[in-house]
Amino acid sequence: MAEENSGMEDAYFEKPKRLETWSGLPVSDRYTPEDVEQIDYQKEIADPGQYPYTRGIHPDMYRGKYWTRREVCGYGTASDTNKRLKFQMAEGVGGLNVILDIPSHMGIDPDHPRAFDEIGVTGCNFCSLEDMEDLVDGIAIDKTSMSLITTSCSTPVILAQYLVVAEKRGIDPSTLRGTIQNDPVHFRYCGFRTAVPLKLALKTGVDSIEYTARNMPHWYNTTVNMYDLREQGIDAPQEVAFGLGMAMCYIDGALERGLKIDQFAPRMAFYCSSHVDFFEEVAKLRAARKLWAKILKEKYGAQDPRSLKFRFAVHTAGCSLVPQQPLNNIIRVAYQAMAAVLAGVQSLHCCSYDEPIALPTEEAQLLALRTQQILAYETGVARVADPLGGSYYVESLTGVIEKKAEEILAQIEELGGMYEAMRTEWIDKEMEKAALKRQKELEESKQITVGVNAFVSEAEKETPGGVHRIPAETTEIQVKRVRELKERRDNTKVRNALEAVSRKADQGEKANLMPEIIDAVKAYATLGEIVGTMREAYGYSYDPLKVIENPFK
Amino acid sequence: MNEDKKIKVLISKLGLDGHDRGAKVVASLFREAGMEVIYLGLYQTPENVVQAALEEDVDVIGLSCLSGEHLTFAPEVTKILQGKEIKDVLVVVGGVIPREDIPEMKDLGIDEVFTAGSLTKDMVGYIRDNVRKQH
């Protein structure tokens, strides 16, 4: 049987081949006190809860409060998603996290000719106030932290829907907790460019920031989405730099509206990736925290310590998961989640193992939640703030990523700032280069993914645990519903409300449309109508896809 | 047909799905593998795709589906091709696709499916072995 065992000697003596991080940062074989002797602890690291917050934003970290356990959810109609939310709550999530479908992100209604077969497929369909009412039916939104993943020009409309539902229930909006995410600018990198023209995206983002900063003190006015950027293939330092660059666009926009930095910065947050290279991700998150504190203090002169605290959620890296041997993804997610927690995350979404196959089944999502719960309640990692702080390696790598990210930020500054870097598509080119590099590393086995380019086994015929299917009747239901609504409602009221949005927009880009959008939502104007009116008012086509015309003209 | 002629591939997204990183990466890697690639981009309809494929006289249509279009819009493409009695264009689909759906997709005229985590060498090998044949 000598032949069968011929690989054993190689396997026994095998050594790691890749000696650099996922991002290509060189690392030594060991780290010693010498590697950190240049680092001034008080100035560069400091205790948890102390500037520059490298070690975390709270002195007692999770002893004060666990991270919020959330699982992104959204499919079919709002009623379908409501059922899944109730299931999640029964199983012990700490907050809710709902994602819109493509037509809702795009800002088109279900009766749009191009929406057919797209409704409810990759998220929950929102069209009118009725959908938001269905989504939160039976859920105490005054006691629930709600994250509504809206990151397009639909943001102010979805926010308005949520506010009107709260008002109808007699809830004071100033008590609401959660976020609308609200980072329309980054969505140009997620295949939605036509729906988020740069100027309009920034304007709608800043409208929501201004409105929530003035009226909703517990509401996170923006969650800058570094995660989606990372998913494009960029590396860890780029994730930090591009994300902070994006955040600065919003800050500058909000300052131009006359807000003071300390009025809104304490309620800005971030959505980061936790990728597969464990220590690099921990170091990245620590570096991001430190850089944010420095930028807010030195560039923007923030005085309130809360403004300096980089609050972040983590979404484990969807792009690190593969459909080959899908149960392996459970392990990847668990490591990524642990990196996020060791780095001091405030809110966590664990991917479900079946995400590279379809939207998650209920069982797969439960397993993702259980991954968080085992981490929180069994492993003991939440006991001590920043347990990796002081590690020669982690502190050194944190410094390397900080420096790299600063170099990229300086490069962006030379290009005229992030807005210009985006407008001139410099960012696009960086992303495309990075994506190609990643794939080549995989093709050439410079980067190993088990089941893809190593330890490959025959493809499974079926997905363990089955495949989640979107109810086939979703499109039909939503189309019928919106058509009936458009017949039933007082269309004069709708027309007047939309004209008010348009008139306010005539005052210029700094005119905040939120109050008029809230009135339009109350009149049961639809998402497509409000977004279309807003687009037209600022000189864009009513329909982002240029198929339909404004029905009120 | 001149066998030395470069293989011509049309790569496109279908419907409103915005996940275009994979499609763009595959387009670049196919070019590096010596193919001529036309990248049609986002928001395409099945009609657009077939029209562009015919105008450009391509050998292969590569469709990228990550949001369920593999069972809605992708089979529309093969249906239109069948209606026009076009049999020498290879149709391959890549993206987030449950394995369970692959037999149905093949029944509907899709020649091959590459799920996420596929390697270019496998795709290129498949195309070279199967291109310019009657399907």
Domain tally, chain B: 1
Q: Does B29 touch chain A (CB under 8 A)?
A: yes
pLDDT of residue A1: 47
Measured distance CA(B39)–CA(B53) in Å, rounded: 11
Q: What gap in Å lies between CA A13 and CA A83, rounded to an integer?
A: 52
- The pLDDT of residue B1 is 46
- Please report, rounded to a whole number, the percentage of residues in chain B having pLDDT higher than 90: 91
Which structure tokens are listed for A134?
């269905």
CB A552: neighbour CB atoms within 10 A?
Answer: 16
Q: Distance of alpha carbon A9 from its chain centroid, rounded?
A: 46
CATH of the domain at B49: 3.40.50.280
Domain that includes residue B66, residue range: 8-134
Residue A110 φ then ψ, to 5°: -60, -25
Please tell me the predicted confidence (pLDDT) of residue A2.
Answer: 52
Residue B83: inside a domain = yes
Polymer length of chain A: 553
Is A243:A418 a contact under the CB 8 Å cutoff? no
> How large is the average pLDDT for residues B22-47?
97
Residues in chain B: 135
Residues of B numbered 100-119 whose beta carbons fall under 8 angstroms of chain A's beta carbons: which are they? 100-101, 115-117, 119
Q: Enter the tokens of residue A208.
A: 């929501």
B28-42: burial string, b at 16+ Cβ within 10 Å, e else: bbbeebebebbbbeb
Contact A545, A106 (CB under 8 A): yes
**Is B56 part of a structural domain of the chain?**
yes
Do B69 and B51 meet the contact criterion of CB atoms below 8 Å apart?
no
Which pLDDT value is given to residue A550? 97
Which residue has 């131009």 as its token pair? A256
- Would you state the structure tokens that stand for residue A96, as one six-digit string? 């809710």
Number of H helices, E strands in chain A: 20, 10
Which tokens hold the place of A284? 């990245």
> Are the beta carbons of A102 and B18 separated by less than 8 Å?
yes
pLDDT at B64: 97
Alpha-carbon span A153 to A509, nearest angstrom = 14
Q: Which segments of A196-235 does DSSP mark as H helices, in order?
A: 198-215, 226-230
| Residue A24 confidence (pLDDT) | 97
> Does residue A146 contact residue A99 with C-beta atoms inside 8 Å?
no
Q: Are strands A145-150 and B60-65 parallel, antiparallel or unpaired?
A: unpaired
Residue B13 lies in a domain: yes
Interface check for B43 against chain A (CB to CB < 8 A): the answer is yes
Of A443, A451, A467, the CB nearest to B98: A467
Judge whether B2 lies within some domain: no
Low-confidence ranges of chain A (pLDDT < 50): 1
Asked if residue B64 is part of any domain, the answer here is: yes
B83 in contact with A, Cβ within 8 Å? no
Task: Please tell me the predicted confidence (pLDDT) of residue B133.
Answer: 82
Answer whether B67 sits within 8 Å of A121, measured CB to CB. yes
Amino acid at A277: D
- B9, exposed or middle or buried, with CB in 10 Å at 0-12, 13-18, 19+? buried
d(CA A291, CA A309): 10
Q: Can you give the pLDDT at residue B3? A: 57
pLDDT, position A3 = 66
Nearest residue of A to residue B67, measured between CA atoms: A122
Q: Is B116 a domain residue? A: yes
User: Is the separation of the CB atoms in A389 and A399 below 8 Å?
Assistant: no
Per-residue pLDDT at B113 exceeds 70: yes
Residue B58, in any domain of the structure? yes
Return the C-alpha torsion angle A461, A463, A466, A469, nearest 10.
-90
Structure tokens at A497: 């409300």
Cβ count within 10 A of residue A393: 18
Strands, E, within A8-125: which ranges? 68-70, 72-73, 96-99
The tokens for A493 are 């009221």
Question: Which strands form A177-181's sheet, in the order they lie side by side?
Answer: A72-73, A96-99, A145-150, A177-181, A219-220
Which tokens go with A468? 């989640």
| Sign for the pseudo-dihedral over CA of A155, A156, A161, A163 | positive
Specify if B1 maps to a domain. Answer: no
End-to-end CA distance of chain B: 16
Best residue in B14, B16, B126 for a mutation probing chain A (most A CBs within 10 Å): B16
pLDDT score recorded for residue B134: 72
Our CA angle for A390, A391, A395, nearest 5°, is 75
3-class secondary structure, A268? strand
